[in-house]
Structure 1
Amino acid sequence: MKRALPALLLLISGCALFQRPPRPVHAPPSESTGVEIPLALPLEGRQIIEGVMLRAIQLAMDDYLPWDRKLPGDATSLQQCLARRESYDVAAAPGSDGIMYVSIIPNAEACDVGGPPILDVGANYAIDTRSWRILKVQQ
């Protein structure tokens, strides 16, 4: 029994390493009651992203900005801005042989903190859409 307790404690503390990605937050009913989803999406501004392209974009973004990435406590406002996915635009295009190219580009207006332009941020990915692996990253 004396040996089982340390093993059990070690096992329980090890479980903390296997965290699931966070689930999306849902608004409380008090906020969502007045929201109506239209039967058909408006044509103006609508974009259709095919499933293969969407999955390639998600794979690249999960690599570029992992959901569990922690910023240092002394992070600047620019670092905080660049740690948010909505601060980036994405361009994607299919290539040959099941390859999808994904470019993650900082949106210059999203992180306008009054400094010089952001030039050394972003990445280009080559994604294998058959095995869902990242073939190459160029930063």
Structure 2
Amino acid sequence: MAALEVARNEFMPPGAKASSDNPKLAECLARRDVYDVTVIRSSESLYFVSFIPKLERCGLRDVVLMDAGAVYAIDEKGRVLSVL
């Protein structure tokens, strides 16, 4: 759970806003409930946390995003090692 919280705060810092030429898309991407989140424990000291947006949760079915979401590598001390 600690790895998830560290990654979430890096990915969507409290108070941060998404930017887009499409205001509905920006509003959608700013919502935490829009993202599917997966946490994988690779070893005792390494976790991968991924965030993948599901725009249909905002009613945006015709919007195509080429590079959305992220994967974070988090160590056992809560440090972000890498972001993909």
TM interval, short-chain normalised: 0.7 to 0.9
Tell me the C-alpha RMSD between the 2 structures: 2.0
If you compute each CA radius of gyration, which structure gives the higher value, 1 or 2? Answer: 1
* Cα gap change, 1:70 to 1:108, in 2 (>3 Å): closer
- 1:107 — aligned with what? 54
* Cα gap change, 1:95 to 1:114, in 2 (>3 Å): closer
Which runs of 5 or more structure 1 residues have no equivalent in the other structure?
1-53
Which of 62, 86, 98 is 2:45 aligned to?
98
Residue deviations 1:89-114, cap 9 Å, x none? 10111012500011111124213324
- 1:64 — aligned with what? 11
The structure with the greater share of residues assigned to strand is 2
- 1:123 — aligned with what? 70
SS of equivalent residue, structure 2 residue 43: coil
Q: Which has the higher contact order (CA 8 A, sep 6+)?
A: 2
CA distance in 1 between counterparts of 2:55 and 2:18 reads 21
CA distance in 2 between counterparts of 1:116 and 1:71 reads 15
CA distance in 2 between counterparts of 1:71 and 1:94 reads 29
SS of equivalent residue, structure 1 residue 135: strand
Aligned length: 83
Alignment TM-score, normalising by the size of structure 2? 0.83
Alignment TM-score, normalising by the size of structure 1? 0.53
Shift of 1:68: 2.0
Which runs of 5 or more structure 2 residues have no equivalent in the other structure?
none
SS of equivalent residue, structure 1 residue 109: helix
1:82 correspondence with 2:29: yes
